[in-house]
Amino acid sequence: MTEDAEGWRRLDARMLLVHPLETLIRFLPALLALVVFRAGSEDNDRWELYAVPLIVAFGVLRWVTTRYRIADGQIELRRGLFTKQTTTARLDKVRTIDLTARVYHRVLGLAKVEISTAGGQRDRLVLDSLGVDAGRRLRAELLHRVDPAVTGLPAPTGAPVADDDVPDDVPPPVDDEVLVRLDPSWIRYAPLTVTGLASAAAIVGFASQGLSRFSQERSVFRDGATFVSRLAWWVDVLLLLGVVSLLAVGAYVLTFWGFRLTRNRLGTLHTRRGLLTNRETSIDAARVRGIRLDEPLGLRLAGARRLKVVTSGLLREQGGSDWLCPPAPAGVVTPLALRIRPDEAAVSGPLTPHGPAARRRRMTRALVPATLAAAGLVVARVLWDWHGSLLVLVPMLFAGAVALGRDRYGALGHTVTPDHLVSRHGSLDRQRVVLDRDGIIGWKVEQSFFQRRVGVATLVATTAAGAQHYDVVDVPVEMAYAVLAQVSPDLSAEFS
């Protein structure tokens, strides 16, 4: 299906196969429930089969009614039969483009294209689905503003491309520089991150729920559970660590397998990753407002870190679209950060510490919860006769709190370079943000009652990108205003 006279293009016809499949997967729990329910009844009427033609008809309808075009510097998406809905976005507002191909997309040579513009979630256009080639060409057209009429390149069409025309792994064009490529040995860092542990915990929770259904009848599980509960406690701990690590590694492989970061000559950053679901994200260089070096405790102890991008209009900040490098050795990540933001002082230079008041506040915050927990343990021992050996935890709590407080103070710091504002904080989730000075669109100076008493403030730089605001925590007030004056001299002069 090529474009019509007005330049309208359709989705790929192969989406007609994807749609029933997606619907099926979405209603899988309902279907399973139906099957289970049916097993107990004698009703032979397979009325759910009537749904199949309906679903197919709905897919066809969606295909027929969905059209998009690029015209007059805009991309327009039109869909709906009864309520015609037209979404329009100016091409110069396009921030990032995601190409996602789940397993069934990949089998059919399709990809879902998501275009995000200024303003985030509300202003996104989703084309589900185009052929992979058509999607890539659309992306090139949008991000590079290629005007077919000017360059003489063939206009992208929505035409189906035969499966064998789409190579499984298209090598980057010659002029794209490869900035980083996943080294399989980095997978060893997977269990060290909270993300990895969280996904592992999710899988364990899901699995244990599923298993508990069967454990009533199946003796295998019951015997297994009895066996585990009889082992020494340290064997249990080792077992748990082993399982969690394995799952974290699994999640890492699923998400980051084949990770590759490239940059084309226009500076557009392009990541590609995923074992089963392939995901490609393109980030317009003009939208990048800085980078974030993450050094969570686990990674830091192993000499590793990861790199994220601070940019406006990303679709899935949680889903890892903003990752420029998965957990990797510092020797890889720091040079990579320098290639994206060539500012040695900002990326790895020393930071100005925030002084004794900030240090006391870190300590208080670590010690107060520890004291409460310790008091709770003592009370429990006295009132409810908890086991005395639990009191061993009290000194451990305090030692941990002191170590945490010191580490958190050690992280606090900021610096201003000719192009960037740098701020670092956190211990378990330490991050160093390198924010472009011209990406800062406003300031806040926040002071709680206690901060006022000790003369510190939290300086907040607001931005349209990433987390929307980046904080310099517990900096002495004079220093906060000095930073403000240094980064935005005209604003500061206006009110001083």
Question: Which residues contact other proteins (rule: CB under 8 A)?
Answer: 92-93, 118, 120, 287, 312, 441-449, 452, 455, 457, 460, 462-465, 467-469, 477-478, 480-482, 484-485, 488, 490-492, 494-496
Q: Which is nearer to other proteins, 97 or 108 (CB)?
A: 97
Q: Shortest approach of other proteins to residue 457 CB, angstroms?
A: 6
Are 158 and 9 in contact by the 8 Å Cβ rule? The answer is: yes
Q: Shortest approach of other proteins to residue 487 CB, angstroms?
A: 11
Q: Which is nearer to other proteins, 185 or 496 (CB)?
A: 496
Q: Which is nearer to other proteins, 339 or 452 (CB)?
A: 452
Q: Shortest approach of other proteins to residue 84 CB, angstroms?
A: 28
Q: Which is nearer to other proteins, 194 or 479 (CB)?
A: 479
Q: Shortest approach of other proteins to residue 420 CB, angstroms?
A: 17
Q: Which is nearer to other proteins, 199 or 463 (CB)?
A: 463
Are 46 and 105 in contact by the 8 Å Cβ rule? The answer is: no
**Taking the alpha carbons of 245, 251, 253, 258 in that order, is the dihedral positive or negative?**
negative
In Å, what is the CA distance from 218 to each residue of 39, 226, 243?
Answer: 20, 13, 22
Q: Which is nearer to other proteins, 170 or 467 (CB)?
A: 467
Q: Which is nearer to other proteins, 384 or 449 (CB)?
A: 449
Residues whose CB falls within 8 Å of the CB of residue 77, separated by 6 or more in sequence, listed in order = 66, 67, 68, 86, 87, 88, 125, 127
Q: Shortest approach of other proteins to residue 92 CB, angstroms?
A: 8
Q: Which is nearer to other proteins, 99 or 475 (CB)?
A: 475
Q: Shortest approach of other proteins to residue 33 CB, angstroms?
A: 40
CA–CA separation, 431 and 307 (whole Å): 10
Task: Give pairs for 378-383: CB < 8 Å, separation 24+.
Answer: none
Indicate the SS3 state at residue 282. strand
**Taking the alpha carbons of 301, 326, 332, 343 in that order, is the dihedral positive or negative?**
negative
Q: Shortest approach of other proteins to residue 473 CB, angstroms?
A: 14
Are 417 and 345 in contact by the 8 Å Cβ rule? The answer is: yes
Sheet holding 304-311, edge to edge: 323-329, 304-311, 288-296, 429-436, 420-425, 413-416
Q: Shortest approach of other proteins to residue 463 CB, angstroms?
A: 5
Q: Which is nearer to other proteins, 233 or 449 (CB)?
A: 449
Question: Token pair 């559970």 is at which residue?
Answer: 225
CA–CA separation, 120 and 466 (whole Å): 11
CA–CA separation, 491 and 496 (whole Å): 9
Question: Token pair 């995000």 is at which residue?
Answer: 116
In Å, what is the CA distance from 4 to each residue of 23, 215, 298?
Answer: 30, 60, 56
Q: Shortest approach of other proteins to residue 244 CB, angstroms?
A: 35
